Chains A and B, each alone.
Chain A
Amino acid sequence: MEVFINLLVNGVSTGLLIFLLAAGLTLIFGLMSVLNFAHGGLFVWGAFSGAWIFKETNSFLLAIVGAVAVGMVLGWVLERFLIRPVYGNHVRQLLITLGGMLVLSESIKIFWGPNPIRVNLPAWLEGSYQFDGIIIIKYRVFVIVVGLLLYLALWLLLSRTQIGLMIRAGVLDKEMVQALGINVKGLFTFVFLLGAGLAALGGALLAPYSGVVFAEMGMQYAILAFIVVIIGGMGSLQGSALASLIVGVAGAFMAYYMPDLSLALNMLLLAIVLLVKPTGLLGEKGSAV
């Protein structure tokens, strides 16, 4: 029972971190059919800059805010100079965002050196809660709470606000929204910055969680996020949330019982979803086929 609850908590918290990465990916794809391979680069920049600011200032809040700011600035540069020139050309989009990923993760090594960096937990989140012998690490609860709050905020943004309405409409039919006089490109920039900020936030939250950050981390988590986005359905926020939880929890259990097979499990999930339901679990837009 103990193990079960622990694994569940681990899985849900990892899942919510992946969700932060996947949310941006799925919205960006839904709105503009751009698959951003550089998203993992923003994530790893968030992780490193968050860890660095935390070490320098010893303020976790400042670290998170700084990481998000860095992520958004980089996201803006990426959108403005790499993605905007190749709108509408899928092949070149794929190629150029992968190039962006390379540059982002290599430049990490210029600023912080090629070796992994250790990250400490903030003092007020160290330690664990204890209920009848079940030990739950405080920081994981914190991640879960933050993740759920962000999901709620995103959901409110999309379903209750004017701009959310425009985004949802844009996902369904971009041309029609444009014909109605809404600046879809501006909207896309907004969504891209939002996604970049979320990715950086995910990285900043992950850094103390895993205790160590390294430049290749971006690609690893980006692949997880891609898998999540496909399983959940491209363009669907709820789908991504659901798939993140599935992948996170399944990953946690596999890592405990069969550690060598945890990545294979995700691939298996992915293959099943693609074969059985190519639109993904809650896909709203377009099929993978």
Chain B
Amino acid sequence: MRGVFQKMPLYWGLAILLFLLLFPFVNDSRSTLILLAQIFIFAIFAMSFDILLGYTGIVSFGHCMFFGIGAYSTALIFNKLDATLPNFLIGLVIGILLSALVSYIIGLLSLRLKSHFYAMLTLAVSQLFLVLAEKWRGLTQGGDGFTFSVPDVFKDRTSFYYITLFSVAAVFILLKLFTESSTGKVLKAISQNEYRAEALGYKTLHYKLIASVTAGVAASFSGALYAVSLRFINTNVFSIEVTLDALLMTMIGGLGTLAGAIAGAGIIEFLRHYLSELAMTYPIFERWTIILGFLYIVVLLGFPSGLAGVMKKFTLKKGRKEKKKREMERAA
């Protein structure tokens, strides 16, 4: 536990958590709470992607499939059965088991491939899921999608806000523990130099599989929350844009730092919210995806370590300056 909560970030984290806990008492505007819940859901999704890309160095372009599997499992359960909490848990567990199974099989078959082949293969498989969801109309009603009712606890915006807030906190702590565990250390080693990790005697495929299944399960969870928040689902959850969202959020926030993924989710969702509001007055902003695309490219080229990297550099510089100042004082 000691490694998880180094002092400074702990205080910051607790302060932010406290602020978010009290937030609904200060401002209970519906749209703000909905936006924040959306941010929390995507923060979970972005963190799951960070486990793959940031901690293990696996480039997956098909992460939307786990999001979609989780979303569809929950949505279909609520569509077929009553809207009760136990049914939600059943849907959640089904989604998680399915995601674990799919990520295990795909990983087993393809994680031994080189990075570009893996990226390509995951992209193709996720498109296969999209086609499946579109063609299996009897179950999914294709691109039209369907609505469903959810338990009251999810309908109330304030309680849903707290559910998503606790979920994001819980997932953050669990994933942080995971990355600080000995397995997490091996993953970090793989991301830095896979051959060397293998030469040290670690079965890298085995560890990459663990990372892939963990990420799949977390993504499935966020997908289930997403479906519940909309009370509607269509094949968009399997679209490449969902994967791009995860990429954007983790890249902008900073790779390999779970907190960065949360910050990235916040930035992207806020931007999207305000840009789509701007679009009502200035039609040019209707195509805000392209703005996000340019932002993504600029971040990749200019700030490859994202917001977290920029902040780290800043604090390092400050620390160095202070040290210098102290030395000067001592000399004087």
Asked if B153 CB lies within 8 Å of chain A CBs, one says: no
A288 and B113 form a contact (CB under 8 A)? yes
A-B contact count (CB 8 A): 99
- Which residue of chain B is the closest to A110 with respect to CB atoms? B287
**A86 to B128 alpha-carbon distance, docked (Å):** 30
A230 and B289 form a contact (CB under 8 A)? no
Question: Digit string of A230-242 for contact with B (CB within 8 Å is 1, else 0)?
Answer: 1000000000000
Give the shortest distance, in Å, between A183 (CB) and chain B (any CB): 24
The count of chain B contact residues (Cβ–Cβ below 8 Å) is 37
Q: Which residues of A contact B244 (CB under 8 A)?
A: 98, 102
- Which residue of chain A is the closest to B134 with respect to CB atoms? A260
Q: Which residues of A contact B135 (CB under 8 A)?
A: 260
A96 and B289 form a contact (CB under 8 A)? no
Q: Which residues of A contact B117 (CB under 8 A)?
A: 230, 274, 288
Question: Digit string of B116-158 for contact with A (CB within 8 Å is 1, else 0)?
Answer: 1101110111011001000100000000000000000000000
Q: Which residues of A contact B217 (CB under 8 A)?
A: none
Interface of B, helix, strand, loop or mixed by DSSP: helix
A106 and B124 form a contact (CB under 8 A)? no
Give the shortest distance, in Å, between A232 (CB) and chain B (any CB): 13
Q: Which residues of A contact B66 (CB under 8 A)?
A: none
Question: Digit string of A250-289 for contact with B (CB within 8 Å is 1, else 0)?
Answer: 0000000000100110110011001100100000001011
Size category, A interface: 35 or more
A270 and B124 form a contact (CB under 8 A)? yes
- Which residue of chain A is the closest to B124 with respect to CB atoms? A223
**A266 to B127 alpha-carbon distance, docked (Å):** 12
A289 and B287 form a contact (CB under 8 A)? no
Asked if A118 CB lies within 8 Å of chain B CBs, one says: no
Q: Which residues of B contact A1 (CB under 8 A)?
A: none
A99 and B59 form a contact (CB under 8 A)? no
Q: Which residues of B contact A264 (CB under 8 A)?
A: 128, 131
- Which residue of chain B is the closest to A95 with respect to CB atoms? B300
Give the shortest distance, in Å, between A268 (CB) and chain B (any CB): 10
Give the shortest distance, in Å, between A161 (CB) and chain B (any CB): 29
**A178 to B124 alpha-carbon distance, docked (Å):** 35
**A286 to B294 alpha-carbon distance, docked (Å):** 33
B residues bordering A, Cβ < 8 Å? 53, 57, 59, 61, 109-110, 112-117, 119-121, 123-125, 127-128, 131, 135, 240, 244, 247, 251, 287, 289-290, 292-294, 296-297, 300-301, 304
In the A-B complex, the 7 residue pairs with the closest CB atoms: A35-B116, A106-B290, A103-B293, A102-B293, A288-B117, A99-B297, A226-B120
A37-B119, A100-B297 provided; 8 other pairs, C-beta below 8 A?
Answer: A85-B301, A91-B57, A94-B61, A96-B297, A106-B290, A226-B124, A260-B135, A264-B131
